[in-house]
Structure 1
């Protein structure tokens, strides 16, 4: 029926095991030995339940059954078991149309309405239906929209849906090719109309009896045929088998619902080289690529895909639990038949690869047992096992190991999704430290770069990863300050942009978004963007919104102009209607400490208006930035402003200079300590340090990061409130050096705020580190431990997990993070990196 899978089937690998398939020029027995080994392995890992047959010149060379015909009764399969062929059925329907054509009852180029009166399209021919060039929409979409859940769809019902609703065609008949099951259902109706009997009876008379087939028939819901040796479809979910067989759409015949066995299919396939059913000239047209209106061709005939200039004729079938393939290698006179009823298409792919001399990748699995699963959704921990395939999660539940399957004993610890750091500055150090110890030691598996308005381009990041693979995944925003520098020049940033410059920024942003950037980031408190107008930011944000991106901002002020800065980001969300996020939410003005509840109420009010505003937050009451941010008015020589900063914006006695290139002796000392050394008041020292750093930068333009300070500027109860807000996810805002948050933000939340202070549950904290972050960033298939999600995982001990990085020992590794997997590969265990680098660049 549906040539494409309609149900999600996880067919992924863990630590790919490659079977070097022999060249197709090697003797067939050699290839068959490889095939048997592969199929046996797949069956052992529950990835194949079915029957396979290989023939050479019509003689069976390999035939083997694997599994059961009915999982409920455990009835074994045999080579006579009749499978629902799904879309492989189409070649039988096409054959009956060819027979009617030879009988003079129809012509391929005749309009369909000639044979089906009332058919609502006046340019569609029988040939269009046969070759998938009609432009008709899929009938099951119409059925789902216009019929009830208890209605069994029939061929007549499909025609009636087309008559009543006459959905628009996808393209003019003959102008294009698109696989279409509707066409073959209509062909089924034409067969019934012109033969004067049900399709199943005509099929029996014209194909089954002439070929003396023993286990081949048409069977659909409410049909009169009695099924023989019928195989039942099933699917495997979380280690258990469930029914996956005929559904209410299966009252139709034409696009599927022909049943057959491998034995009968071989007889059928061999008959195609004879004239037992139709003349050779008639069948030749069935395996000729269809000509489109523009005289180009597409490699599909009547129920056959045509490959390698006709040397390979094939068709797959995918419906409910049935995944099949029939391949004719016409030059080698070889036949491959794979019939499966277990909802996993691995065998049919691998069998073809082996038969065709390609390297076949067998699907290996890995099992993690004896764990308390916290899956990232926020629900309570539960005991479970998790099975991986390649880079994804496959199964969750009470699972037992497969033969020879690698097993990791979780020792009763917590298995959670790998943490996602929504605001990271670690990327710049990955070239020197591809193991990413700062990140993985705290359970982070994905970092998001491009923050505070500064970013690398997508191409640069991709080149970096190609040159030096790393242990973790990377995603990025595109920074406004970077765009400004590209459009305005490094010396032209201290003003508003001109229209031409803004247009240039927009073009640059569109290009980055098209390559997968998550959206636009701004660092409006920093000088490179501080002088930009609201209008500039809004126009750039609208570009991101129009491309489906998002907006993240280190807002224009976190202290004296906090209210106005929050109003700005709310306005951006209101105008662009895209998600907006406040970076590292904080109140950095001592006068406003204790007002976190008021600020959160303001954000909640915006959300009630329909503005999707969120935040991230790190678990410290001191920040890391430049000395210059302590002058909100950018008046660095104003003593009054310096005194305001020391009295209201930070505590000089607890704020440490991380680095100071102009006088390295100051690094590691508080501003108060430096003031004592200089025999000055802290305000005078602050101005002096800013001036000395500026002079050093002028004389040494190639040196970046001249100065940085960890400023004690927040109240911990406010930090706790921000962390607890239901729309806050956890971030680090960390780097590979400097602030201890670079090595310990996530484990600090788990140790200090979950284990010690109990301000939130472990499940809530992990949700804020995983699925909530993925939601805020728009990341797909990450942030949960669920089937089909990437196998980025962390095993942690909730009783011992804590951060150890401190000022003065900022690279101390966390404890309690026992193991970390990225894409199913172990990258960190026992406080040591494994040297494996499976990280990828994540694109929007």
Structure 2
């Protein structure tokens, strides 16, 4: 894996810049806070290193916590030498300035004067010092052209630059861009100009004359191989592992000078007292670099410079360092760390600047069977949360004072992601998200069936009204049509100019974080669109990195053609496509799921990323009007076909019917009996009465009619659920169909434990990792380090749904605990009141 750059100076601005604008006095309170924070973070395995604070050269605080070598466990102290990483650069700059004072080089000399085969004729020494050369970083060049047995050296790098001549990032002197390559070249120039080795010049001109006893040059295959030094490490899943020099570390100049906190404190005092170089030399070194356009950047020769002082940090392999000097108060802060965790650097900055700071909270979950969302076999491990993310997984022991949850041997899984949800409307009245959390859902994906909210509105609502689950959204095709064509203009194909307007609106929403385009082509608001209209919009989604999900144009009589359409869109737009709530909703085609899935698999073999989601029920929830695929609502023949092929009137229940609310909860067959008419005629009459009610009550917003239609076959549902590219969804809401309260627990209880359709690991994968993959959601759906801590603990012996058509809001059992972004939001069959959900954007 490619290592990080030795130093990202822009990060330094965030680390210490606020301190530069303060008096930065070392008050007893600040010192006590530094001490306390160091101890807490060290106890949590998040800090190993030395901190030294001084005023006027006098040490006011110094502490070392950790080990020089995590194998031998030798304790650190403030006199031990750390790899300075990019803090090396200020020493290299000083050596260059010494040669300037000795008359052996000029800042505006061309590099080729000292390195004849250097391929960039105009670059000067000054531009190397100030990071304005335009040279590319050497890391990629070296990794591309050297093999794993090669150790990079300064000479090899110069040879690579001469042979490969990579283009400059910008014209020299026109921009500031941090560049490690320049300081490697400076080290080579120092050798040419001084006539001796870099390490000898450093020893005779810097470390020896100024009494820096624990400061030296160390690189692979170089001198000082027997010098004792602090070794870098990283903490991984509770264990300290080596993270020290790599094969790039045969170079020197951008790093690989070692020093101790005590030596650096002495050095900074000598620098500020003008005892190293002449005052005029320092004055030039601490001027902001001037660019060719007349602007400047706050970097001099090897230091970032600010109104009250100077600073630098250094990051390389297992080292995280920083130095800050406030000349106004004569205060110096030195941080040397031999771990990869940079957290204390930011905390130190905040403490010294007198700003509030946050110490991370950790929480250990033990005695669990971990199913991590990858589909791989379960593990007997512990999981540690840090703030809102998963930090460690493995054989972990509790920290002193750490809160611990005992999982009692139950399954810990990633929080379930509902790829097709209508729950958002219920969150306004119930922000604790009971229908979702009670079945283990931690993320809902809305903007379904072609209808969506604007991303700006969603973000605003989520900030103003926190909720307990995460929310992501597609942009709805019908919503775009309505904005462009008007609510009464949807029953036709869009004109070319209207499609163009929709494309602009869609691109804006995608740029604001929408997952992609979503269509509800079976519904009237989009049914009259043609394939080209959808394709043009899908291409916009593809260009912007989005995805396409569709309630396809038909799930019954025209199912084959509808599937062909979404496959064609995936092929032509080159976009991942997902079929919403996959089903076969026509009796004549029952038990043909394997044929449909074979067609989808054939498309995947062609390279089309087609996937599906599915809920575990044989009845759907929609409007009565979808039972007329030809939109001929007064055609008795079509109504008879619907009652015979598209749904079972005796098992299909009216959810709501505004013209006669007493019909809610009755089957269509029961209503037909009450009215003394056939089921087909009753279906037509109800559609007509609902339409009349809508005309007379245009402001009615509670939903005029809905039906739960029984129209699928168990065998088909199981086949679609089992397809390797199908993830689980609910298609549910806070009321209505029982799937809104029980889809996920129904899969676990019925299809895993009872029917053994698939394993626990596969089922969890279909609810988490696969869903995140199908939707393009990052850092969710898996339990692994650095993923957000959305998790569910459940009992595999008891988890089950209880919601049914007569009691659709019955809560599931067996879901013991749910965490969303590290906060416990569900426990003991009730919400905890924590509202830690986030808006998830693409």
Which band: TM-score by shorter chain?
Answer: over 0.9
> Which whole-Å CA distance do the structure 1 matches of 2:8 and 2:725 have between them?
36
| Conserved 8 A contact 2:23-2:328 | no
Q: CA deviation at 1:150?
A: 1.4
Aligned to 2:16: none
Aligned residue pairs, count: 829
Answering whether residue 523 of structure 2 is matched by residue 526 of structure 1, we say: yes
Instruction: Indicate the SS of the match to 1:643.
Output: helix
Answering whether residue 312 of structure 2 is matched by residue 315 of structure 1, we say: yes
Given the alignment, which residue of 367, 370, 374 partners 1:373? 370
Greater shift after overlay, 276-285 or 622-631?
Answer: 276-285
> Which whole-Å CA distance do the structure 2 matches of 1:35 and 1:543 have between them?
51
Segments of 5+ residues of structure 1 without an aligned counterpart are 9-22
> Which whole-Å CA distance do the structure 1 matches of 2:785 and 2:463 have between them?
29
| Conserved 8 A contact 2:503-2:540 | yes
> Which whole-Å CA distance do the structure 2 matches of 1:747 and 1:299 have between them?
58
| Conserved 8 A contact 1:217-1:227 | no
> Which whole-Å CA distance do the structure 2 matches of 1:71 and 1:25 have between them?
34
Segments of 5+ residues of structure 2 without an aligned counterpart are 12-21
> Which whole-Å CA distance do the structure 1 matches of 2:153 and 2:800 have between them?
62
- The 1:664–1:502 alpha-carbon spacing in structure 2 relative to 1, beyond 3 Å, is same
Given the alignment, which residue of 763, 786, 789 partners 2:787? 789
> Which whole-Å CA distance do the structure 2 matches of 1:770 and 1:27 have between them?
49
| Conserved 8 A contact 2:24-2:352 | no
Aligned to 1:424: 421
Aligned to 2:384: 387
Instruction: Indicate the SS of the match to 1:408.
Output: strand
Q: CA deviation at 1:226?
A: 3.9
Aligned to 1:766: 764
- The 1:46–1:420 alpha-carbon spacing in structure 2 relative to 1, beyond 3 Å, is same
> Which whole-Å CA distance do the structure 1 matches of 2:224 and 2:674 have between them?
98
Aligned to 1:688: 685
Aligned to 1:818: 816
| Conserved 8 A contact 1:657-1:668 | yes
Please show how residues 262-411 of structure 1 align to structure 2 within 5 Å. Answer: 262-307=261-306, 309=307, 311-411=308-408
Answering whether residue 746 of structure 2 is matched by residue 748 of structure 1, we say: yes
Aligned to 2:807: 809
> Which whole-Å CA distance do the structure 2 matches of 1:157 and 1:638 have between them?
83
Aligned to 1:177: 176
> Which whole-Å CA distance do the structure 2 matches of 1:793 and 1:203 have between them?
54
Aligned to 1:833: 831
Aligned to 1:18: none
Per-residue displacement from partner, 1:514-556 (whole Å, max 9, x unpaired)?
1010000000000000000100000011010111110000000
Per-residue displacement from partner, 1:478-525 (whole Å, max 9, x unpaired)?
000000000000000000001121111011001100101000000000
> Which whole-Å CA distance do the structure 2 matches of 1:410 and 1:90 have between them?
50
Aligned to 2:141: 142
| Conserved 8 A contact 1:2-1:86 | no
- The 1:577–1:305 alpha-carbon spacing in structure 2 relative to 1, beyond 3 Å, is same
Given the alignment, which residue of 717, 720, 723 partners 2:721? 723
Please show how residues 50-199 of structure 1 align to structure 2 within 5 Å. Answer: 50-199=49-198
Scaled by the length of structure 1, what TM-score is found? 0.97
| Conserved 8 A contact 1:375-1:416 | yes
Aligned to 1:604: 601
- The 1:26–1:124 alpha-carbon spacing in structure 2 relative to 1, beyond 3 Å, is closer
Answering whether residue 596 of structure 2 is matched by residue 593 of structure 1, we say: no
Q: CA deviation at 1:302?
A: 1.2
Aligned to 1:616: 613
**Aligned Cα root-mean-square deviation (Å):** 1.5
> Which whole-Å CA distance do the structure 2 matches of 1:346 and 1:503 have between them?
48
Aligned to 1:579: 576
Aligned to 1:662: 659
Q: CA deviation at 1:281?
A: 1.5
Aligned to 2:773: 775
> Which whole-Å CA distance do the structure 2 matches of 1:577 and 1:194 have between them?
58
Q: CA deviation at 1:312?
A: 3.6
Q: CA deviation at 1:353?
A: 1.3
| Conserved 8 A contact 2:491-2:525 | yes
> Which whole-Å CA distance do the structure 2 matches of 1:612 and 1:276 have between them?
67
Scaled by the length of structure 2, what TM-score is found? 0.97
> Which whole-Å CA distance do the structure 2 matches of 1:701 and 1:95 have between them?
79
Aligned to 2:695: 698
Given the alignment, which residue of 506, 531, 536 partners 1:509? 506
| Conserved 8 A contact 2:25-2:331 | no
Answering whether residue 493 of structure 2 is matched by residue 496 of structure 1, we say: yes
Answering whether residue 471 of structure 2 is matched by residue 468 of structure 1, we say: no
Given the alignment, which residue of 699, 707, 710 partners 1:709? 707
> Which whole-Å CA distance do the structure 1 matches of 2:776 and 2:430 have between them?
28
Instruction: Indicate the SS of the match to 1:303.
Output: coil
Answering whether residue 650 of structure 2 is matched by residue 653 of structure 1, we say: yes
Q: CA deviation at 1:283?
A: 1.3
Aligned to 1:17: none
Per-residue displacement from partner, 1:324-355 (whole Å, max 9, x unpaired)?
11110111111111111011111222112111
> Which whole-Å CA distance do the structure 2 matches of 1:399 and 1:312 have between them?
43
Per-residue displacement from partner, 1:202-235 (whole Å, max 9, x unpaired)?
0001111121111000000010224533001111
> Which whole-Å CA distance do the structure 2 matches of 1:673 and 1:200 have between them?
94
Instruction: Indicate the SS of the match to 2:310.
Output: strand
> Which whole-Å CA distance do the structure 1 matches of 2:567 and 2:358 have between them?
50
> Which whole-Å CA distance do the structure 2 matches of 1:300 and 1:780 have between them?
36
Q: CA deviation at 1:3?
A: 4.3
Instruction: Indicate the SS of the match to 1:210.
Output: coil
> Which whole-Å CA distance do the structure 2 matches of 1:578 and 1:106 have between them?
58
| Conserved 8 A contact 2:24-2:326 | no
> Which whole-Å CA distance do the structure 1 matches of 2:664 and 2:111 have between them?
84
Per-residue displacement from partner, 1:106-149 (whole Å, max 9, x unpaired)?
11112111111110112211111111111111101111111101
- The 1:26–1:57 alpha-carbon spacing in structure 2 relative to 1, beyond 3 Å, is closer
Per-residue displacement from partner, 1:299-321 (whole Å, max 9, x unpaired)?
111111123x2x14111110010
Answering whether residue 238 of structure 2 is matched by residue 239 of structure 1, we say: yes
| Conserved 8 A contact 1:453-1:482 | yes
Aligned to 1:644: 641
Per-residue displacement from partner, 1:395-427 (whole Å, max 9, x unpaired)?
000100111111111111111000101100111
Given the alignment, which residue of 435, 441, 450 partners 1:438? 435
Please show how residues 242-253 of structure 1 align to structure 2 within 5 Å. Answer: 242-253=241-252
Per-residue displacement from partner, 1:131-181 (whole Å, max 9, x unpaired)?
111111110111111110111000011111111111111111111111111
Aligned to 1:542: 539
Instruction: Indicate the SS of the match to 1:509.
Output: helix
> Which whole-Å CA distance do the structure 1 matches of 2:505 and 2:593 have between them?
37
| Conserved 8 A contact 1:368-1:410 | yes
Q: CA deviation at 1:5?
A: 7.1
Q: CA deviation at 1:27?
A: 5.7
Instruction: Indicate the SS of the match to 1:510.
Output: helix
Aligned to 2:223: 224
Given the alignment, which residue of 723, 726, 732 partners 2:730? 732
Instruction: Indicate the SS of the match to 1:452.
Output: coil
Per-residue displacement from partner, 1:10-65 (whole Å, max 9, x unpaired)?
xxxxxxxxxxxxx9676622210111011111111111111110001110000111
> Which whole-Å CA distance do the structure 1 matches of 2:133 and 2:264 have between them?
29
Instruction: Indicate the SS of the match to 1:623.
Output: strand
| Conserved 8 A contact 2:6-2:255 | no
| Conserved 8 A contact 2:6-2:254 | no
> Which whole-Å CA distance do the structure 1 matches of 2:491 and 2:784 have between them?
48
| Conserved 8 A contact 1:24-1:355 | no
> Which whole-Å CA distance do the structure 1 matches of 2:124 and 2:683 have between them?
83
Instruction: Indicate the SS of the match to 1:451.
Output: coil
